[in-house]
Structure 1
Amino acid sequence: MQALHGKSDETSPFHQGEQAVQARLGVRDTIEPWARQVVRPFLPEQHREFFKQLPFVVAAARDATGRPWVTLLTGTPGFISTPDPTSLHIAARALPGDALENSLTAGAELGLLGIELDTRRRNRVNGTINAAGANGLTFAVGQSFGNCPQYITERSWHQVGVRPGDASATRYQRLTRSMQVWIGSATTLFIGSGYRGQGQHVGYGMDASHRGGAAGFVTVLDDRRLILPDYSGNNHFNTIGNLVADPRAALLFVDFDTGSLLQISGQATIDWDSAEVARHPGAQRLIAFDIEQIVQLDGALPLRWSAPESSQPLRLIKKTKESEDVTSFEFVAQDSAALADFTPGQHLPIEVHIEGHKQPIKRTYSLSNAPGEGRYRITVKREPKGTVSRYLHDTLAVGDTVNTRMPRGDFVLAHHDRPVALVSAGVGVTPMVSMLHALAGEAGERPVYFIHGVRDSRHHALANEVRALAKRHDKICFSAVYSKPRNTDRQGNDYHHRGRISIELLKELVPGLDADFYLCGPEGFLADTVATLRQSGVQPERIHTETF
């Protein structure tokens, strides 16, 4: 276990290892206030309902020797129940021969990942087993938080019968040739890690996380060594922070066709910035994994999954520069077939083939147009180091194609008649414009407050479109907030308020703060806005967020 130096914040949801990584990578000051809003010591109602409908959950724990392992706990949907927001009951045990068969006992630390592959939703919850027996285990929640849908390969599941003689468990210390082929073709893995320092801290414990990519994203160096790319994520650095503090880790590979599991336990080392990192497209750093023990469970799961959802080619029909660094891309089906409809606020998963990259690169972008138009529009900010955003802006031309899958996401408007406040910053405006189109077209006159913060008119994407909607519909109140207006920007015409979106401004624009708030933008903006809305009496169930 590595000694950590330097002062850490003991009131933070992150332990010292996570804090150290965040500081090293320059995100500590922005992620901390946001995490204090979204990392909770309980399961929100939405997460409770999510876990109840799952047929399996990913579990990370340690065996009697302290070695970490990852497994799947399975059952008929409903096998996970939530007696209250701070506990889960899982009516399942580890399978016979599983590396954790005798380790999920009372007092054991447990990291859980609920993941729905067909919708790409996932939620993590870490805590401790309170009780365990023949009927399963009861779990006390320590931390609960959601994850973004990136890098998840979509699959649908179905149940199968498994007879006692169908399954087998075998232990190894080196990868066989068939295991190496399995890992080399995988698009999904789960990684388990954990850290417990001295004293008590809410961030201590086990953690289960998902990693995904195109087939071949995990490199098999030999029968004892693997290389895993670490892509950009939510900046929590839960796994990397654990590994900095305690390099013991576990991997789980699932054979979705046969229901077999490959459990691997060993030691991990972080490659922060060597020349090797650049050889893995999209990787921010690498995890070098040294294998120590292996358990292979053949045909053990009562679940099977379909092949990954096939993608649909889209043809770019229009490319519109919306601001200094934001461009809209409008697509139709390449074969002129009808496109699946979407709900305003959802995102579109796309795949692009970029020269120099062996595999297609996947990204998700919010849809910014109104549903029912027979086209998809994404509005993308060009990031200086963004592989895909630079390709879209600089290379993709009208007539070119990209591959896509069904629109996804649950950042959508609730069904009720209360006033709505759409509050965004920067490129966070994109799902808000789609929502605004839907609200403008609905019957009734419930008030809609559209409040957007940006630097100046040169960076104000989709401004004319929003102004036109507000002009046509009296129920829409549009307010633009410029932090640094240009000399040529006219207050009352280009923008309405100078500075940044604050709670004082929201109180001025939204009478009595009587609205459902939908927030989208950078983490710092979200953290401040969520915190001040709650402090001002807005109930959590009326605050909905999406981060970029």
Structure 2
Amino acid sequence: MRTELTPAPRSKLVGTSPFHIGEQAVQTRLGVRDVIEPWARQVVRPFLPEQHRAFFRQLPFVVAAARDATGRPWVTLLAGKPGFISSSDPVSLQIAADVLPGDALQGSLTAGAELGLLGIELETRRRNRVNGTISAAAGNNLKFRVGQSFGNCPQYITARRCREIEVRPMDRSASRYKRLTERMRRWIGSATTLFIASGYRGVGQHPAYGMDASHRGGAAGFVMVKDDTRLILPDYSGNNYFNTIGNLVADPRVALLFVDFESGSLLQLSGEATIDWGSAEVARHHGAQRLILIDIQQIVQLDGGLPLRWGEPEPHLPLQLVRKTKESDDVTSFEFEGLDDAALPAFKPGQYLPIELQIENATQPVKRTYSLSNAPGDAGYRISVKREPQGSVSRFLHDELAVGDVVNALKPDGNFVLTQGDRPVALISAGIGVTPMISMLRALVREPARRSVYFVHGARNGHHHAFAGEARALAERNNNVRFCAVYSQPCDSDNQGEDYDHQGRIDIDLLKDLIPALDADFYLCGPGDFLAGIIADLSERGVMPDRIHTETF
């Protein structure tokens, strides 16, 4: 059954939105529509950038979402040796693989079928989503036409290392069920990872129509098994696109895939979903913003067929808090060292630190990723966190975590890092987006090349300006660094020329005045609407996409 939706208020932006009516309705309901639309228009593309094409080429598997002959959604894995996915141009992928015998989608990946793909590298937690259509299919060869492509954040992904194995036909089996067996219930109850398929097709043509494959993760037990036909899946905070939730609001048909990483077995579920927007049950799932209630209608279990196996999750790195420093009214830095002075893995400026926290009343560890705000070569790791009034994790860090406490972490990761070269560097941020920028600045002033650096930061006023003294001091000690602070609402105690340089917001006119001919590699970090405006203005003035690097908070 499809829900009748009221169109969202018309956007002031011209052209086609990257979101369909269901996604727009959810964004409007949750108050993020005006913020996310301009940002998504910059990063949701009708093609694959070269870095995404290269990413797919190196993968040993890809997550695939499609519908069977009856229109029922399913999600599965397509696997092969790295290189089984190729890309001859930015709008297509070639996939030399087929589903396993007995797979719910066997015989369904045909020319004209809508297909949602998720490229995910569990070891590094990188992922990229691309939706489109199968333009040709012959044997084990699919040609895929790109509709939309965009990257995803690494949050909630459990890191695992993958290896290939040989699988004999006699070791494979496929079974169909209507209800969960006890083995399935244990499987789901211990899962830290699942993949979810959803989709929506309205009347006419729209780039957001089609199938979508996505990842969900959490500590073991994050999916609740209500009984042998019902599951509860918490929906945590994410990128605010609401692709999955928006699909399900418009078309409640849904599919889940659970992978047994040790045996290479797959558990495929298909059914219908209902969204719980805020009942008392939501509060019982720590960190959940809402719940997806799933009624299972069909089940396919594929045992031992996948030619891949994954090792145990990456071991934790115990860190001890050695210092807390208040950087502004709402931002505090947390400095960690290895427990018992253990050596810590190196990192690159701009990367993030995944951490796990044991929070009171949470039934499982809570995972978050925070940009590192110190630089390689500094002692330990420093993260800097804004206290959010409704944020249970940020409030725990600010109010409860004490010097001497130990938290678990994984090694630093992320691709928002400085590129090598001699071109000037522009570090442009707003709000808490300053955290990776201060790390980059600290690294750049130590470079022997002494590249010109433009450090431009926007804040409300001096009370909310984290690292003001640290950044200004680095600029004063290094004549290759130009510092510029922009306050949107200066306080009476803020002095222009001393505490800040310009009143208003960072815009293209300011950047043109600061950066000759806009000749720089631009690194941007901050809220989505801030990034969208800067990216659009830089692009309009001829700055090439490979010189614009972004991270959104």
Same fold (TM over 0.5): yes
CA displacement, residues 324-344 of structure 1 (integer Å, 9 cap, x when unaligned): 000000000112111111000
2: CA distance, partners of 1:445 / 1:352: 39
2: CA distance, partners of 1:179 / 1:398: 43
Q: Which residue of the partner structure matches residue 4 of structure 2?
A: 3
Q: Is contact 1:383–1:390 with CA below 8 Å preserved after alignment? A: yes
Q: Which residue of the partner structure matches residue 169 of structure 1?
A: 174
* Structure 1 unmatched runs, 5+: none
Paired amino acid for 1:389: S
Q: Does residue 86 in structure 1 map to residue 87 in structure 2?
A: no
> How far off its partner does 1:39 sit?
0.2
- TM alignment of 1:118-133, pairs within 5 A: 118-133=123-138
Q: Is contact 1:315–1:401 with CA below 8 Å preserved after alignment? A: yes
Q: Which residue of the partner structure matches residue 280 of structure 1?
A: 285
Select 2:71's aligned residue among 57, 63, 66: 66
2: CA distance, partners of 1:198 / 1:304: 42
- TM alignment of 1:35-434, pairs within 5 A: 35-434=40-439
Paired amino acid for 1:24: R
Relative to structure 2, which stretch is displaced further, 366-375 or 151-160? 366-375
1: CA distance, partners of 2:420 / 2:277: 46
CA displacement, residues 180-208 of structure 1 (integer Å, 9 cap, x when unaligned): 00000000000000000111111100000
2: CA distance, partners of 1:7 / 1:510: 39
Paired amino acid for 1:125: V
Paired amino acid for 1:163: R
Q: Does residue 25 in structure 1 map to residue 26 in structure 2?
A: no
> How far off its partner does 1:133 sit?
1.1
> How far off its partner does 1:374 sit?
3.1
> How far off its partner does 1:5 sit?
2.2
> How far off its partner does 1:446 sit?
2.1
Relative to structure 1, is the Cα distance of residues 7 and 446 closer, same or farther in structure 2, using a 3 angstrom cutoff? closer
Q: Is contact 2:8–2:24 with CA below 8 Å preserved after alignment? A: no
CA displacement, residues 278-306 of structure 1 (integer Å, 9 cap, x when unaligned): 00000000000000000000001000001
Paired amino acid for 2:277: W
> How far off its partner does 1:313 sit?
1.0
2: CA distance, partners of 1:427 / 1:449: 18
> How far off its partner does 1:357 sit?
1.0
Paired amino acid for 1:422: L
Paired amino acid for 1:393: H
CA displacement, residues 448-470 of structure 1 (integer Å, 9 cap, x when unaligned): 00000001111110111111110
> For 1:131, what is the secondary structure of its paired residue?
strand
2: CA distance, partners of 1:174 / 1:359: 27
Paired amino acid for 2:94: H
Paired amino acid for 1:432: M
Paired amino acid for 2:294: F
> How far off its partner does 1:3 sit?
1.7
> How far off its partner does 1:387 sit?
1.2
Paired amino acid for 1:153: T
1: CA distance, partners of 2:54 / 2:324: 40
> For 2:71, what is the secondary structure of its paired residue?
coil
2: CA distance, partners of 1:456 / 1:351: 32
Paired amino acid for 2:7: G
Q: Is contact 1:8–1:16 with CA below 8 Å preserved after alignment? A: no
Relative to structure 2, which stretch is displaced further, 296-305 or 129-138? 129-138
**What is the aligned-residue RMSD (CA, Å)?**
0.8
1: CA distance, partners of 2:312 / 2:157: 13
Q: Is contact 1:339–1:374 with CA below 8 Å preserved after alignment? A: no
Percent sequence identity over aligned pairs: 72
CA displacement, residues 137-167 of structure 1 (integer Å, 9 cap, x when unaligned): 0000000000000000000000010011110
Paired amino acid for 1:538: V
2: CA distance, partners of 1:185 / 1:11: 42
CA displacement, residues 37-86 of structure 1 (integer Å, 9 cap, x when unaligned): 00000000110111111000000000000000000000001110010000
> How far off its partner does 1:4 sit?
1.6
1: CA distance, partners of 2:104 / 2:458: 52
Q: Is contact 2:349–2:443 with CA below 8 Å preserved after alignment? A: yes
2: CA distance, partners of 1:97 / 1:421: 54
Paired amino acid for 2:538: L
Q: Is contact 2:219–2:365 with CA below 8 Å preserved after alignment? A: yes
Q: Which residue of the partner structure matches residue 516 of structure 2?
A: 511
> How far off its partner does 1:445 sit?
3.1
Paired amino acid for 2:231: L
2: CA distance, partners of 1:482 / 1:180: 54
Q: Which residue of the partner structure matches residue 538 of structure 1?
A: 543
2: CA distance, partners of 1:130 / 1:464: 56
Q: Is contact 1:517–1:542 with CA below 8 Å preserved after alignment? A: yes
> How far off its partner does 1:8 sit?
6.4
1: CA distance, partners of 2:52 / 2:392: 33
Paired amino acid for 1:3: E
CA displacement, residues 203-231 of structure 1 (integer Å, 9 cap, x when unaligned): 10000000000000000000000000000
Paired amino acid for 2:3: Q
Q: Is contact 1:314–1:403 with CA below 8 Å preserved after alignment? A: yes
2: CA distance, partners of 1:256 / 1:347: 26
Relative to structure 1, is the Cα distance of residues 231 and 7 closer, same or farther in structure 2, using a 3 angstrom cutoff? closer
CA displacement, residues 103-141 of structure 1 (integer Å, 9 cap, x when unaligned): 000000000000000101100000000011124100000
> For 1:335, what is the secondary structure of its paired residue?
helix
What is the TM-score normalised by the length of structure 1? 0.99
> For 1:5, what is the secondary structure of its paired residue?
coil
Paired amino acid for 2:4: A
> For 1:441, what is the secondary structure of its paired residue?
coil
Q: Is contact 2:8–2:25 with CA below 8 Å preserved after alignment? A: no
2: CA distance, partners of 1:133 / 1:314: 52
> For 2:531, what is the secondary structure of its paired residue?
helix
2: CA distance, partners of 1:526 / 1:298: 46
